[in-house]
Amino acid sequence: MSAADARHPDSEYDVAAIRRDFPILGSTNRGKPLVYFDTAASAQKPQSVIDAIVDFYQSGYANIHRGLYQLSVEATSCFEAGREKVRSFLGAAHASEIVFVRNATEAINLVSMSWGRQELGPGDEIVISAMEHHANIVPWQQLCLEKNAVLRVAPMNDRGELELDAFAELLNERTKLVAVSHVSNALGSINPAKQLVEIAHARNIPVLLDGAQAVPHMPVDVRDLDCDFYAFSGHKLFAPSGIGVLYGKLELLQAMPPFLTGGEMIESVAFEKTTFKPPPHRFEAGTPDIAGVVGLSAAIDYLTGIGLERIAAWEHELLEYATLALSEIPGLRIIGTAEKKAAVLSFVLDSAHPHDVATILDQEGIAVRAGHHCAQPVMERFGVPATTRASLSLYNTREEVDVMIRALHQVLELFG
Amino acid sequence: MDDLRELYQATILDHNKSPRNFGKLPLANRFAKGDNPICGDKLQIQLEVDGDDRVVDVRFDGKGCAISTASASLMTEFVKGCRREEIDELFARFHALVTGNPSESVEVPELGKLAVFSGVREYPVRVKCATLCWHTLRAALSQRDEIARTE
């Protein structure tokens, strides 16, 4: 009996119905039914998100926080209701701890340029991990250059798991911040975020978690994690691209200077001096992506409607099924075999380069990513120039995994 | 599978598996590195060029996908004995071949075996793979002290 015949323990999980919610999943790629295995790069959008944006532009749109007319007042409540929705989604204490940005990259840059510039001095240290996305490396590297500070990198083992002891040893009285991913985009490793926070907090070091790959796949509670900052992108959470979130503990945000300046974030402006609004508005200069917040709210409703626990369970089963199927392909090596792992399968083949693999999969309708996944140091760590990455999500099926396995046999046929 | 064979023609698969002129060139007097940062593909080209700006010998090494390895391998076979202007002209034709409109027919007798890369035009993201070696070769010929990039 193949794993595909096994009855799913969550018989209520109606993946066919979920797939119908995503119009693009009915489309084709190079003439074949689309198999979308690139959700870690960006998630597809359910009809409810698309409808929410269309409805908002058709009947609810105006600029926010300034109009005295009803439409603007309503658009403002819609936007602020989105903030409240994100607060509840993340389990934050206050809505004012939720700052809207463009994406996780901007969220991390905000912390680096506002908090980092204020708090860091020469000789201070920032600790990141060996599995970070470039978005959680480069902003800190730049800050360290500017401040003559030192970037330290906590190592991972050959399975792609963070080495906790080595991490703890890196922390010292000069460490000003720990910035690590909650889930690795290139490897899928789920980091023990709560434990990392405990270790850092024992030394009074604040922690930023890059949650871009975590929030779409598992329940996240920032108060339970007790992290100081949490960043994620809407577009990986089935919301539109262009909207993202920075969560920051209120006392930290209150002590931070503005990031971008201009309209919307000020209290009063005179040529002599400007005063700024309190958080979160202090960090939201200019007209924001209003419809993006509307889309993000609808995406959160969609996900919580299904339930993150159930999504995580479905994805985990897909991951196990795909891991087993891939491991039966001769000459294939999975990069990233952490015990706690999200449904990300990075792999290399002895006989074919990831680009050739991706082109052949593309020909069969399968969308995967091939390359360094914005994590060049991870590739370096595993001694590969690139990998092919299949990232699975709530709308993927075992049958789609089978399509990929058949296409990989074609790769072997061509290159074997 | 037929569409794939159109892209991965037998010659390409052969040159990928057994690249020609692969390795180091002891008498090299020109050198350049090529880097395709998006893919992680890297290659080096070493040339022995005579006083006439003619390529006497050439070697390449590095790591890349089948398209980039086969393209470098076939290119090294093709450019031996060519002068710089001839190489520039060949590259222009090669570039036109791999970036052409897929619906137009391809007839490039002057490109000989290089015509096997005509399938690349169906895959715009793979054009960089096929042209990395050419950019690197031209950088080596101009002795530009820089890494050739396709980006």
Q: Which domain holds residue A354?
A: 3-33+307-415
Shared domain check, A347 and A250: no
For residues A262 and A373, give the distance between their C-alpha atoms in angstroms, rounded to a whole number: 34
Residue B89 distance to chain A (closest CA, Å): 28
CB spacing of B67 vs A372 below 8 angstroms: no
What is the overall mean pLDDT for chain B? Answer: 89
pLDDT digits (tens, 9 = 90+) for A235-251: 999 999 999 999 999 99
HSE (CB half, 13 Å, CA atoms) of A214?
Answer: 25
B127 touches chain A (CB under 8 A): no
Cα distance between residue B135 and residue B149, in whole Å? 7
Distance from CA of B61 to the nearest CA of A (A): 15
Active site residues of A: 374
Please indicate whether, in this complex, the C-beta atoms of A371 and B38 are within 8 angstroms of each other: yes
Is residue A296 within 8 A of residue A237, CB to CB? The reply is yes
Mean pLDDT of A155-162: 97
Contact map slice: B 75-104 vs A, CB within 8 A:
none
The stretch A109-130 carries a mean pLDDT of: 98
The enclosing domain of A321 has a CATH number of 3.90.1150.10
Q: What is the enclosing helix (H) or strand (E) of A248?
A: strand A244-248
- The pLDDT tens digits for A305-340 are 999 999 999 999 999 999 999 999 999 999 999 999
- CA–CA min distance A360, chain B (Å): 7
B39·A376 Cβ contact <8 A:
no
The helix (H) or strand (E) run that includes residue B43 is strand B41-49
Q: Are residues A195 and A279 in the same domain?
A: yes
Cβ of A356 within 8 Å of Cβ of B66? The answer is yes
In a domain, A40, yes or no: no
CATH code at A199? Answer: 3.40.640.10
Assess whether pLDDT exceeds 80 at residue A303.
yes
Q: Does A378 touch chain B (CB under 8 A)?
A: no
Q: Considering the domain boundaries, does residue A44 fall inside one?
A: no
If asked whether residues A183 and A224 sit together in one domain, one would say yes
* Token duo for residue A333: 């090596």
Domain assignment present for residue A406? The answer is yes
Mean pLDDT of B74-92: 94
Distance from CA of A48 to the nearest CA of B (A): 32
Mutate to test the interface with B, among A335, A348, A355 (most CBs of B within 10 A): A355
pLDDT tens-digit series, residues A56-94? 999 999 999 888 899 999 999 999 999 999 999 999 999
Sheet holding B147-149, edge to edge: B55-63, B41-49, B30-36, B147-149
User: Residue A6: pLDDT band by 50, 70, 90 thresholds?
Assistant: very low
Contact check, Cβ <8 Å, A385/B38: no
How many helices and strands (H and E) does chain A possess? 15, 17
Q: Confirm or reject contact between A414 and chain B (CB < 8 A).
A: yes
Average pLDDT of B103-130? 86
Are both A264 and A278 inside the same structural domain? yes
**A363 touches B at CB < 8 Å:** yes
Q: What is the pLDDT of residues B5-46, one digit of tens each?
A: 888 999 999 999 999 999 999 989 999 999 887 777 889 999
Would residue A45 count as lying in a domain? no
Task: Tell me what ipTM this predicted complex has.
Answer: 0.88
The H or E element spanning position B66 is helix B66-79
Domains, chain B, ordered by start: 2-149 (3.90.1010.10)
